[in-house]
Amino acid sequence: MDSAAFLSKTPREFSILMAAENERRYDEYELMASKAMMMRAAYHKEKLKHRDLYKRPSDKATDRTVEDVKARQEEVMSRLSRFAEFKDKMAKEVSD
């Protein structure tokens, strides 16, 4: 950044730029740490496969549906309603 651009920034803009730079630096350190851990795993494992070091997150949807989640919540609520300390809370929640 040249001096004219630097001097044209308000203190708030400068503060935001510095915070962003710190976050970028922390991201870089985190990446370096991940690389170091992968290198260590690669050096110490005999039969290493690529998926042992990194598994790419998939965009695949889960098999759970809204009905499954609701059924699970109802099951938990019915189990909790058996206890005296939760009965008042369950009654309020049902009435809402």
Same domain, 47 and 86: no
- The domain of 7 spans 1-59
Provide the domain count of the chain.
2
d(CA 60, CA 13): 40
Same domain, 8 and 54: yes
Model confidence, pTM: 0.47
d(CA 14, CA 86): 51
Backbone angles phi, psi at 70, to 5 degrees: -65, -40
The reported pLDDT for the residue numbered 92 is 58
The reported pLDDT for the residue numbered 19 is 94
The reported pLDDT for the residue numbered 58 is 76
Same domain, 40 and 12: yes
Per-residue pLDDT tens digits for 2-16 = 888 888 989 999 999
Name residues of the chain where pLDDT drops below 50.
Answer: none
Same domain, 43 and 74: no
